[in-house]
Amino acid sequence: MSTARNAVARRAESVGTVQQQGDEQQKPTMAQQIERMKPELARALPKHMSADRMARIALTLIRKNPDLANCTTESFLGALMTCSQLGFEPDSPTQEAFIIPRKGQAEFQLGYQGMVTLFYQHPMASSLKVETVRENDYFEHEEGLDEKLVHRPCKTGPRGRAIAYYSVAKLVNGGRTFKVMYPAEIEERRQKMPSKNSPAWRNDYDEMAKKTVLRNHFKALPKSAELSRALAHDGTVRTDLDPNLIDVPPEYLEPAPAAITAGTSSATGDEDPWAGQDAAP
C-alpha cells in the first residue's frame, strides 16, 4: 500500500514539474515583449523617430547591461515608453535620457541635456546654457536688486577645480534670468538623495551638478508641457504601457511628494526624493 501511495505522489510531482516548465516556456522573454510593443511605440514616438530603431536600442541596452536585463519587464518597458513619448533615445550620445537599473526596477532618468531640449519647446524660450566655473576663470556673481553674472574662462592654462555652477536663460520677450550654485550647496543636496554615492555622482560629478542647478533654475522659468511631464517622471518607475497615459503620475521607488497633479509637481527641487538626480546626468 505504501509503495502505491509513493508511486502516486511521484506521478503528481512529475505532472506539476512538467506544468511548471510549460508555464516558464510560455512566458515571453523581454526581447519578445519589446518586439510585441513596437505598435505602441510607433503610436507614442514623434514622426521623425522609428519604432524599429527604438526597439533595437532597447535590445542593445539589455544586452550591454545585465542589471537592466534582470529588471522587471514591466518597469523596463514603462521606461522605454516614457522615452518614446518624450522623443528621446535612451543612453544615446546626446545624453538626453537614460534607463537605469535600481533595486530590480528600471527607472527613467532625464539628463540635463534633455531638460535643455524640452525647455526650447516653450514658445517663450530663447536660449539656455549651463556652465562650470573653475578656480582660474574670471568670475563675478552678485544677487539682489543689481544682479550680476560675469564669467570669462581661463584661456592661458589649466582652469583648475570647479568652484561654481550656473545656468543662464533668455526669453523671447528680452527677459533674462540665471541661477548660480556653489559646491557646498550641491553637496548639501546630494547628501539628501537616496543614492548619493551612485556611479553617476562618482563618475560624472560636474554633469550631475549642472543638472542640479538647472532643475533648481526651472522653478523660475516657464516650462513646456513636455518638460513638466519629464520632470514628473524623472527617477521614477512606470509599469503601464499605454501611450496615452504619460500624464498619469508614475509609481515611485522612494516616497512620492505630498501633492502631484498630472504631469506636474508641487515642487521641482532636487531636495525631493523623487527628483531623479542620483542616477544619470
- How far apart are alpha carbons 262 and 249 in whole angstroms? 6
User: How confident is the model at residue 11, as a pLDDT?
Assistant: 53
- Domain-located, residue 143: yes
What is the domain range of residue 211? 114-222
- How far apart are alpha carbons 229 and 270 in whole angstroms? 16
Going by pLDDT thresholds of 50, 70 and 90, the confidence category of residue 16 is low
DSSP for the chain, please give it: -HHHHHHHHHHHHHHHHHHHHHHHHHSPPHHHHHHHHHHHHHHHS-TTS-HHHHHHHHHHHHHH-HHHHTS-HHHHHHHHHHHHHHT--TT-TT--EEEEEETTEEEEEE-HHHHHHHHTTSTTEEEEEEEEEETTSEEEEE-SSS-EEEEE---SS---SEEEEEEEEEETTS-EEEEEE-HHHHHHHHHTSTTTT-HHHHH-HHHHHHHHHHHHHGGGS---HHHHHHHHHTTBB-----TT-TTS--B-SSPPPS-EETTEES---TTSTTS-TTS--
Going by pLDDT thresholds of 50, 70 and 90, the confidence category of residue 2 is low
- Domain-located, residue 25: no
- How far apart are alpha carbons 183 and 162 in whole angstroms? 8
- Domain-located, residue 203: yes
User: How confident is the model at residue 233, as a pLDDT?
Assistant: 86
- How far apart are alpha carbons 78 and 264 in whole angstroms? 18
Q: What is the pTM of this model?
A: 0.71
User: How confident is the model at residue 244, as a pLDDT?
Assistant: 55
Least confident of 16-25, 45-54, 72-81, 157-166: 16-25
User: How confident is the model at residue 229, as a pLDDT?
Assistant: 86
- Domain-located, residue 253: no
Q: Which residue has the higher pLDDT, 261 or 67?
A: 67
Taking residues 264-271, report their average pLDDT. 33
How many C-alpha atoms does 138 have within 13 Å on its Cβ side? 4
- Domain-located, residue 238: no
Q: Are 121 and 223 in contact (CB under 8 A)?
A: no
* pLDDT, tens digit, 9 for 90 and up, residues 197-249: 777 788 889 988 999 999 899 988 888 888 888 888 888 888 776 655 554 55
How many C-alpha atoms does 152 have within 13 Å on its Cβ side? 4
Taking residues 132-153, report their average pLDDT. 95
Burial label for 131, CB within 10 Å (0-12, 13-18, 19+), is middle
CA angle 63, 68, 72 (to 5 degrees): 125
Taking residues 12-17, report their average pLDDT. 52
- How far apart are alpha carbons 66 and 104 in whole angstroms? 11
Rounded to 10 degrees, what is the CA torsion of 76, 81, 84, 88? -40
- Domain-located, residue 141: yes
* pLDDT, tens digit, 9 for 90 and up, residues 110-129: 988 899 999 998 999 999 99
Taking residues 9-38, report their average pLDDT. 66
Q: How many domains does the structure of the chain reveal?
A: 1
Q: Are 41 and 81 in contact (CB under 8 A)?
A: yes
- Domain-located, residue 189: yes
φ and ψ of 72, to 5 deg? -60, 140
User: How confident is the model at residue 61, as a pLDDT?
Assistant: 93
Which residue type, as a one-letter code, is found at position 16?
A: G
Q: Is the pLDDT of residue 137 over 70?
A: yes
User: Which of 164, 163, 177, 171 minimizes the C-alpha distance to 220?
Assistant: 177
- Domain-located, residue 144: yes
Place of cell 504601457: 241
